[in-house]
Structure 1
Amino acid sequence: MTTILITGVSRGVGRALAEEALSRGHEVIGTARRESDFGDLAGRDGFTPLVLDVTNRDDLARAASELGRPVDILINNAGVKGPSGTPLSVDDMDGFLQTLQVNALGPLMVTQAFMPAIRKSSEGKVLIVSSQMGDLDESANSIAYRTSKTAVNKIGRALATELRDDGIAVANLHPGWVRTDMGGASADISVEESAKGIIDLAEGLTIETTGRFWNWDGSERASW
């Protein structure tokens, strides 16, 4: 049976990912910052809650030491939108730094903490929910979010290189423009559609396709 660890399952895409994985018979370990954030997931068969902050090393070390079982697939989903603004107009630098910490360093710290559990799997995989907004284009708005996703894209590619010889596949992915608090009501797809595509990607990822950037629907992004 496949065990999937998903960060940020309190709402949005993360909650839908947990629901989709459970519906397929997978074991799910989900993280949130507070016990109350799990809602009815906490009582579901096959679901294990982990209370932690993805940027807190003590939380991560404790959770990893207490886990006591292999992790087949890690999905780094937790993230924040961060302050709005262009490079010259953004003034919330504390918020900018927090966005970088959660969206870029968070996935790295989580991957580091749970790597021993991933190595215990016969076919470990690491996925990072990034965004097409991390592309190196000429867009200037939402600079904190865009910068954080550009950074995590590089981290994902570097992880793929470092873990290739260990047989651990890594992928960055764009979840689509999703109808969430972050994406807004006019977005293209539902959280359920995005989650189904991401779990499909997670199940199908192999070492032969490591280091690539995928759209939620399974299509590969040519440049990023």
Structure 2
Amino acid sequence: MSGTVLITGCNRGLGLEFAYQYARDGWRVHACARDLVRAEDLLALEARFPEQVQLHTLDVNKDGQIKALDRVLGDETIDLLINNAGYYGPKGVCFGKVERELWRQVLETNTLSPLMLTQALYPRIATSKLKTVAFLSSKVGSISDNQSGGGYYYRSSKTALNQVVKSLSIDLEGAAIKVVALHPGWVQTDMGGENALITPEESVTSLRGLLQQLDMEQSGRFLNYDGTVIDW
């Protein structure tokens, strides 16, 4: 099965791997990144799959760029939207060192922007065949799983994102749109580090398998890359 997918944060890591795998398998891929000039690997992917891959400059935090993307898409429908772009923020921030503006930047990217993009592209998703929206969350956003504290910026942004996903799954049920929060695992990316347990290829392969089999009963859930449900 193939279709049209739009992916944010495609310049590296999971976003780049998603773009590659979908293009390789014959999907039409709208790959978005903040700075295409420096996205050498993404430009190489476009050159390799010129019939499948279309690149777009998109800073998800800028509403003007979201509107411009929507215009450029013309009458294209979006079978699958993958909200992948994310920002961890400064690492090692402990209680007593939290700064309002830095926290706001993480929330803007990880929580507000994915919803704003989904809202803008909703008509394209609602008229597609697959009608699926995926949000890359993180297990550190699970409140019940938090045993180590800290991580105020990133944890809270993903916890809030999970609530967005749950509400969306209810609000979009009437349009038969499937919405899901996904934990990609501890992945060997710039964010996950070289000591992480799995490669981007392994993570994305598993996540694509989940998305391919996703049904309305699973909409609104928080799923690990291996298919297990993560507690909120």
TM range (shorter): over 0.9
CA displacement at 1:50 relative to structure 2: 1.1
CA displacement at 1:67 relative to structure 2: 0.3
TM-score (norm 2): 0.91
User: How many residues get paired?
Assistant: 223
State the SS of the aligned residue for 2:181.
strand
Partners of 1:91 and 1:103 lie apart in 2 by 17
TM-score (norm 1): 0.95
Which of residues 181, 192, 197 is equivalent to 1:183? 192
Return 5+ residue gaps in structure 1 as ranges.
Answer: none
Partners of 2:54 and 2:216 lie apart in 1 by 27
| Greater CA drift, 88-97 or 175-184 | 88-97
Tell me what 1:39 maps to. 43
Partners of 2:207 and 2:31 lie apart in 1 by 16
Q: Does 1:82 align with 2:86?
A: no
CA displacement at 1:48 relative to structure 2: 0.9
Tell me what 1:103 maps to. 110
State the SS of the aligned residue for 1:148.
helix
User: Pairwise mapping of residues 1-224 of structure 1 onto structure 2 (< 5 A)?
Assistant: 1-36=2-37, 37=39, 38-43=42-47, 44=49, 45-68=51-74, 69-85=76-92, 88-136=95-143, 137-221=146-230, 223-224=231-232
State the SS of the aligned residue for 1:35.
coil
CA displacement at 1:87 relative to structure 2: 5.6
Return 5+ residue gaps in structure 2 as ranges.
Answer: none
Q: What do the CA deviations read for 1:155-202 (whole angstroms, capped 9, x no partner)?
A: 011100100111000000100000111111111100100111111122
The answer on whether the counterparts of 2:133 and 2:180 sit within 8 Å (CA) in structure 1 is yes
Q: What do the CA deviations read for 1:91-115 (whole angstroms, capped 9, x no partner)?
A: 4432211100000111101101111
The answer on whether the counterparts of 1:33 and 1:53 sit within 8 Å (CA) in structure 2 is yes
Partners of 1:87 and 1:150 lie apart in 2 by 18
